[in-house]
Amino acid sequence: MMQAQSGICAEPNLHASYLMFDIAAGQEADVRQALAHFPELCRDLETSFPDAAFSGLVAIGAAVWDRLYTHRPPELQPFPPSASPQFQAAVTPFDLFVQFRADRFDVLHLAGQRLMARLAGRVRLREEYRGFRFLDFRDLTGFVDGTENPQGAHRAEVALVAEGPYAGGSYLHVQRYVHNMTHWQRLALKEQEDTIGRTKQENIEYASADKPQTSHIKRVNLKSADGQSKEILRQSMPWGTLEEQGLYFISCCRTPTHFNDMLDSMYGSNGQGHLDHLLRYTRPVTGAAFFAPSETFLQQGGVI
């Protein structure tokens, strides 16, 4: 049985560390070997610091996959371009994405140190950001984030490929959003709630008939032709400083289709023509597609 990486379906934590890397030319074999030891690195931290509730995941970018492994996940594609006349989703490919999460910030730093020691000279660190829990699981806009996330065993059903050589893996899409907090905070409470599609303080979703077509919830809560919800598992957290802040958005799913459809719906490029009005107050400055293979896949060096 393929063992999934612990960070894919992990429950929420207090802190997170997000790292983006590009692989140096000619270093593919050494990086592949380092990735084979990534589950061991995570497991050691999990057992050494049980109070930290540590978890980790590494995901390989769509553009670099074929340089590392012989066989490719069947649905792995570059980050989908989406745009409206007013807004455009950023597309910024990276080779590797690493997420560490824990309830202790020092353990996250230790994890980063150990990873960098293994990858030294083989990769270039392109981005490093820290996520944090804000109040009672709220985004910096003040609204509860992740209300629609699957719970319990259903998290794995949504996030993980169930069968075949890539079982236990997950398709990831990562975007770093920067909020225009000044613009957002000028809105009246009702305007904010209409933009999201739920109440702010009580976190009560609007009745379907009351949701504006341009509300965020209306644009991302999608169903298939047979009425099944197109779910994703979000591993998102707020990030930032007092000068620049936003949401580090991470979608984990057994198929990339659900996220792609949500993005098209947000930008009005799915044929309905409705723009997600939350995009007026936040913008994605990165966008990258990855596959996070199982621990078994990594440890076997991609041999399937």
253 phi-psi bin (left φ>0, alpha ψ -120 to 50, beta other): beta
How far separated are the first and last CA of the chain, in Å rounded? 13
Contact 115, 45 (CB under 8 A): no
- How far apart are the C-alpha atoms of 93 and 55, rounded to whole Å? 24
Q: 3-state SS string over 201-223? A: CCCCECCHHHCCCCCHHHHHCCE
Cβ atoms within 10 Å of 3's Cβ, excluding its own: 14
Tokens encoding 178: 């920067």
Query: Which of 196, 199, 258 minimizes the C-alpha distance to 224?
Result: 258
Question: Among the options 145, 194, 264, 276, which is catalytic?
Answer: 145
Residue 17 CA, chain-centre distance (Å), reads 12
- How far apart are the C-alpha atoms of 44 and 114, rounded to whole Å? 11
Indicate if 276 belongs to the active site: no
Per DSSP, what are the bridge partners of residue 198?
A: 205
Query: Which of 171, 145, 175, 144 minimizes the C-alpha distance to 248?
Result: 175
Contact 215, 199 (CB under 8 A): no
Question: What amino acid positions are annotated as catalytic residues?
Answer: 145
